[in-house]
Amino acid sequence: MPDDSTPEIPAPAEDSPETAESFGEVLSQFEKSHAHAAESGPQRLQGTVVSLSPEQVFLDIGYKIEGVLPRSAFENNAEAVKPGDSVPVSITGRSQEGYYELSRFRVAQPRDWSGLEQAFAQRLAVAATVTGLVKGGLSVDVGVRAFMPASRSGTHNAAEMEALVGTEITCRITRLEVADENVIVDRRVVLEEQARALLEERKKSMKEGDVVDGRVRSLVSYGAFVDLGGVDGLLHVSDISFSRVAHPEEVLKVGEQLQVKILKIDPESKKISLGLKQLQAEPWQTAPERYAIGQRVTGAVTRLADFGAFVEVEPGVEGLIHISEMSWAKRVRHPQDILKAGETVDAVVLAIKPEERRLSLGLKQALGDPWAEAPRKYPAGSQVEGPVTKLMNFGAFVEIAEGIEGLVHVSEVVADRRIAHPRDALHVGQRVKALILAIDAEKRQVRLSIKQLVPTGIDEYVAEHEPGDIVSGRVIAVFTTEIVVELGEGIRARCRIPAVSKAAAPEKTAARADLGSLSAMLQARWKGSAPAASAAPEPLAPGQIRRFRILSLDAKSKKIEVESI
């Protein structure tokens, strides 16, 4: 009698012939596929990516069960891999989940000594399992017991080597002694070959013009080496930025992630030239949209040359301030007299030629043209003061304002004597007062006079007298239309000719009085001690000392008009 506690197991349903046949075919195919997979270790298969997980890539290799590759087997951790991609692989074993473990390289799976001899002769990579740590290295199972020296394990320290125990690896047989059952394997050489193969594959996939991701590996004075996923490219300092870069460390740092453009791949050396600024817009192409003649700009002085200074107005756009456009006031011998590298300056755009990458700037124009307001500030007749800047044969230049110089002609330097050269009365640096005679802003010329500001005898005489005053004077010349009278030393006046004197005008050749006696008489008259004139004055003649009435005094023109009384 059956135990009530044991559940009754229903009898299996009788399979129909179709079901039995179908299951048999599937089983047969499954066994064949496994047998094929087991026998085809060295065979190169073509896998097709079907899906990806955070750690693995799953591939269809033509068997009932898929194969797997770690994402690390691909560049950039398989970021560019997508379903449908074709990948050549080899089977290295089975995972605990039942998937075929794959390698992107041809791997042999020897099962006896003859298989090992074949793999050794053909220098094939073989699949192996690390079984434990031994003195000097690792114990490895390649179908038979083998030894792998620590130096050939491809690890950097003891911890990494210990982590290999129990894992599947790919290695190469470097020594095989069948009689002694001595087998030595090398994992490091396989890793290096795989790295070189990946490198070549990576290089082949690159072409000029590609935009790729990379990481700054190191910085040197002439550029930066960028790791493009196992392949190094050189980013030259001139291709980092459109603005001038003295050293790459100014804008880059080691470990920084970049997106760069492949500029050139040397077909012989395989060296790769990279560009960073080429991914940015060319600033000169749109420069005319941002800069116009007369526009005021600000920039930093990047370098000085004998002929001028270069100023960066924006990254990649430099303008030249020519030495002649630096100052209104003085002649600049070298730009360093005015500017220094690194200094920020304001300038005015004078010309722009984007096709030639040329921008002409003016420094003095940003300060304003002093001649623009000169006629208003310094009209003719006004008085100015400034230092003598230069002496020439024909005159002296005087700075009356920054950027404005006037010329004092040699004849306008002194009034009391005639000089042959301005240095007879002036020296460079001396501050003088001058009268503006004329100013021409268009020609940038100013005419000055120093002597006309120096007080003279006639100035004092005009200041001390007024129209109507009775004064004494000596007739020095009689002409048809007027008489010239001397009122004092160097002071002459124009006298109207009296009606009586016209009829009895003396001869021009009349004898002149003794100058000594005349001076004494004239002085007596000025002091008022001379006898009064007779009621019927004699006709005016040269040498006569007479009394006159002042009719007009003109201080500006220095003219005096009198009449005889």
At residue 286, φ and ψ (nearest 5 deg) are: -110, 10
Give the pLDDT mean for 216-237: 89
Tally Cβ neighbours within 10 Å of residue 146: 24
Q: Where in the chain is the domain with CATH 2.40.50.140?
A: 38-103, 107-193, 206-279, 285-367, 370-453, 457-564
Comparing C-alpha atoms, which of 484, 547, 486 is closest to residue 515?
A: 486
Model confidence at 138, pLDDT cuts 50, 70, 90, reads very high
Stretch (H or E) spanning 526: helix 515-526
Given this model, what pLDDT does residue 513 score? Answer: 42
Over pLDDT 70: what percentage of the chain?
A: 83
Q: What's the DSSP call for residue 150?
A: G
Pick 187 or 416 by higher pLDDT: 187
Q: How many CA atoms lie within 13 A of 178 on its CB side?
A: 8
Region 336-342: mean pLDDT is: 87
What's the CATH number of domain 370-453, 2.60.120.20, 2.40.50.140, 2.60.40.10, 2.40.10.10? Answer: 2.40.50.140
pLDDT tens by residue, 18-34: 433 444 444 344 444 44
Look up the pTM and report it.
0.41
Q: Which of 240 and 533 is assigned the larger pLDDT? A: 240
Residue 537's pLDDT band, with cuts at 50, 70 and 90, is: low
Give the per-residue pLDDT at 498: 66
* Residue 63 DSSP one-character state: S
Q: Give the pLDDT score at 310.
A: 94
Using pLDDT thresholds of 50, 70 and 90, give the confidence band for residue 122: confident
Residue 316 DSSP symbol: T
Class of 285-367 in CATH: mainly beta
Q: What superfamily in CATH does domain 38-103 come from?
A: Nucleic acid-binding proteins (2.40.50.140)
Confidence of residue 391 (pLDDT cuts 50, 70, 90): very high
Q: What is the mean pLDDT of residues 306-324?
A: 90
pLDDT digits (tens, 9 = 90+) for 481-526: 889 999 987 788 999 776 544 444 444 433 344 444 555 555 555 5
Distance CA 400, CA 406 (A): 7
Residues 238, 272: Cα–Cα separation, whole Å = 15
Q: Decide the pairing of beta strands 344-353 and 317-322.
A: unpaired
- Alpha-carbon distance of 414 to 422, in angstroms, equals 9
For the residues 36-60, what does the mean pLDDT come to?
75
Low-confidence winner among 210-224, 249-263, 274-288 (lowest mean pLDDT): 274-288
Residue 96 binned pLDDT confidence (cut-offs 50, 70, 90): confident
CATH number of 457-564: 2.40.50.140
What percentage of the chain has pLDDT greater than the value 90? 34
Considering the four listed CATH numbers 2.40.50.140, 3.90.420.10, 1.10.760.10, 2.60.40.3140, the one that applies to the domain covering 206-279 is 2.40.50.140
Average pLDDT, the chain: 81
Average pLDDT value for residue range 353-369: 87
How many CB atoms sit inside 10 A of residue 72's CB? 11
CA distance 330 to 356: 31
Say what the pLDDT of residue 20 is: 39
- Catalogue the long-range contacts made by 464-470 (C-beta closer than 8 Å, 24 or more residues apart): 465/550, 465/553, 466/550, 466/553, 467/550, 467/551, 467/552, 467/553, 468/549, 468/550, 469/549, 469/550, 470/547, 470/548, 470/549, 470/550, 470/565
Whether the per-residue pLDDT at 17 is higher than 60: the answer is no
Query: What's the number of CA atoms in the CB half-sphere (13 Å) around residue 517?
Result: 5
Mean pLDDT in residue range 221-234: 88
- CATH: 1.25.40.10, 2.40.50.140, 3.60.110.10, 3.40.50.150. Which one for 107-193? 2.40.50.140
* C-beta separation of 183 from 173 below 8 A: yes
**pLDDT (mean) for 419-436:** 93
The DSSP bridge partners found for residue 310 are: 303, 320
| CA proximity to 173, closest of 186, 161, 162, 160 | 186
Which segment, 249-263, 328-342, 505-519, is predicted with the most confidence on average?
249-263
Q: Does the pLDDT of residue 200 top 70, yes or no?
A: yes
Using one digit for the tens of pLDDT, what is the confidence trace for 318-327? 999 999 888 8
